[in-house]
Amino acid sequence: MKRFKSISRTKKIVVIGLAAALTLGVAGTAFAYFTGSASTTTYATVGSAGWSISSVSISAGPIYPGAGSQTVTFNLTNSSGGAQLLDAVSVYATPSTDGHGGVIDYTAGNVDGCAASWFTGTYVSGPSAGVTYPTGFVGTYTYSFTMTDSGGNQNACQGLSPQVTISVT
């Protein structure tokens, strides 16, 4: 203790002051910092609905006005990446695009004298519409394709192969 007694009171105050200043200086630099922020915008990707039709076949044999039928069979696949609602499935003869209501024949094109309204596709079997099906779902559908008897001359339809359209929504 004698050693510190020889230090004058003024020197002690200077030493204490320097020690306090150094402490505050070091403490001040230890707490210095910057603040900042960051943000970004990105986009999610939403998939699309997708049904695909495959393995379409029509049974052999002719149809006549009011007699006979052909069977239209096809597979319907949910080809989207998620579940989707099968709203409706229908099979029908496609009317010609000339506005006269004739059928479109496989080889002859539009045939005005053979009315598309004389042909119908009637559901026979297959998964129900109005149901949500998972991705990858495959359903086999069967329709009966017939020609109604109009009560008049239907000769324009003889030997034709009317185009059949399968529509899925």
Q: Is residue 25 part of a domain?
A: no
Q: Which residue has the higher pLDDT, 6 or 78?
A: 78
Q: Is residue 84 part of a domain?
A: yes
For the entire predicted model, the pTM comes to 0.68
Q: Is residue 7 part of a domain?
A: no
On the 0-12 / 13-18 / 19+ scale of CB atoms within 10 A, 159 is: exposed
Q: Is residue 40 part of a domain?
A: no
Confidence tier at 157 by pLDDT (50, 70, 90): very high
Q: Is residue 32 part of a domain?
A: no
pLDDT tens profile 64-114: 999 999 999 999 999 999 999 999 888 876 666 667 788 888 888 888 889
Q: Is residue 137 part of a domain?
A: yes
Q: Does residue 17 surpass a pLDDT of 80? A: no
Q: How many structural domains compose the chain?
A: 1
Q: Is residue 22 part of a domain?
A: no
Q: Does residue 28 surpass a pLDDT of 60? A: no
Q: Is residue 134 part of a domain?
A: yes
What's the mean pLDDT when you consider all of the chain?
84
Domain of residue 115, CATH code: 2.60.40
Q: How far apart (Å, rounded) are the C-alpha atoms in residues 64 and 67?
A: 5
**Tokens encoding 14:** 């200077």
Residue 136's region, left for phi above 0, alpha for psi from -120 to 50, else beta, is left
**Do 102 and 112 form a contact (C-beta atoms < 8 A)?**
yes
pLDDT tens profile 121-146: 889 999 999 999 999 999 999 999 89
Which residue segment(s) compose the domain that 154 sits in? 51-168
Mapped onto helix, strand or coil, the DSSP state of residue 121 is: strand
